[in-house]
Homo-oligomer: A and B are copies of this chain.
Amino acid sequence: MIQTPASTSGLTLDILRSAGTLSRTDLAERTGLTAATMTNVVRRLMDAGLVHDAGRLQQGRGQPRRMLALSPTAWYAVGVQLDRTTTTVVVVDFTGAQVTHVGLRGTGSRGPEDSVRAVVAHVRDLIASANIPRERILGLGLATHGPQDRERGMLLTSEPTPDWLEYPLSSALSSQLGLPVLLENDATAAAIGVQRVGVLPTDTFGLIYLANGVGGAVVVGGEPYRGRASNAVEIGHLPLTGGGRPCVCGNVGCVQAEGGPAATVEQALTDASLVERLALVGSGDDILADFERLARASRAGDESAIALLARSGAQIGEAAVALVNLFDLDTVVLSGPALRTAGSLYLPLVDDALQKRWLSRTLARPQVLITDNLDTAAATGAALEVLRSTPIDR
């Protein structure tokens, strides 16, 4: 397993990655280190080829400040987001910028061995086509659904097929690719992916990840909340409205089972006229494509589609309220591939639920946001987490 060290060097790299360029003085302020210590840290990072001089910045009348930035080509990392309906592979450079990416079909109902073989082939192709020096790739971050045993690099679920349960996913990928592999919850990875790109107005927020299912993540002060074994924040498995629909987790009435994308498609499939009108496919491997058809129909004014999406949006709104009230947050980010078209439908519904039902009414009102990297956030976040394990002294 890749460790993510909390060293001063690592912290400095994290801060530079999210800020872009900063002076030594800025870095000393943000890390709380003395100017002298920061000068030493920066020297080591420059000697290691990780940081370079990015010119001078004149502000006001003072001395121009020498600015620093990460060296983009120092290291690269691969990020893979994998689930039943989609596979996304990204390569990021050392600054976290995306070098290349590809979106592919998901695992479908295939077993883990076939799926790993497919991922390995895609990753090899992408690295070759992007002309990235193999020895500069630090590792691969794999974002997928939970529950997981992050340390052992395996899933603790029989979804989509029983042989995924405790299959040695990370080690199989690692040995076939010859790269260290870091397993990550997809919602947590997406939170890292939206946070480290630096467009959010805060580094403390909750995230609801909509793919087939409904995942959740919480970031406080820039760090993901991980709980005991990185299986937080299963917001999709809260039974919030007293419904009785059975969930894949074994419980009933979970947000995911009542109003997640797959559940919404399932409800649509019981309406024969809607199925015909929208040409819904109705296969488990095409859930996101069917959900996309529903979202488009809803935006085009189809009454049945509008009702289904509104019901789903209300459930996601309840989940957002629970996230805000339980984790004490004022920002909820919506992310995930299901939101390509549906995002603009969910945004006002979630906002409405939050304004009506959050608890601390005289503190800052909660807000809901959507970022534009819906398809790649999770893969990017997994790759960014790998970059945090950069060796400083070799």
Chain A residues within CB distance 8 Å of chain B: 146-147, 149, 156, 165-166, 204, 216, 220, 225-235, 237-243, 249-251, 253, 318, 322, 325-330, 357, 359-363
Contacts and interface: CB of A to CB of B under 8 A. Distances in A.
A328 B359 contact: no
B149 A226 contact: no
Nearest to A149: B363
A156 B362 contact: yes
Contacts of A330: 228
Interface-centre pick from A156, A165, A231 (highest chain B CB count, 10 A) = A231
Contacts of A231: 328, 359-360, 363
How many copies altogether?
2
Contacts of A240: 238-240
A156 B235 CA distance: 26
Nearest to A251: B357
A241 B238 contact: no
Nearest to A321: B251
Name the prevailing secondary structure of the A interface residues: loop
A322 B149 CA distance: 20
Contacts of A237: 325, 359
A358 to B, nearest CB: 9
A238 B327 contact: no
Nearest to A330: B228
Contact of A328 (B230, B242, B243, B325): B230
A291 B100 CA distance: 63
A166 B235 CA distance: 32
B225 A225 contact: yes
Interface-centre pick from A325, A357, A361, A363 (highest chain B CB count, 10 A) = A325
Contacts of A243: 242
Given A204-B227, A227-B204, A363-B147, A234 B326 contact: yes
Contact of A359 (B204, B249, B318, B329): B249
Interface-centre pick from A149, A234, A359 (highest chain B CB count, 10 A) = A359
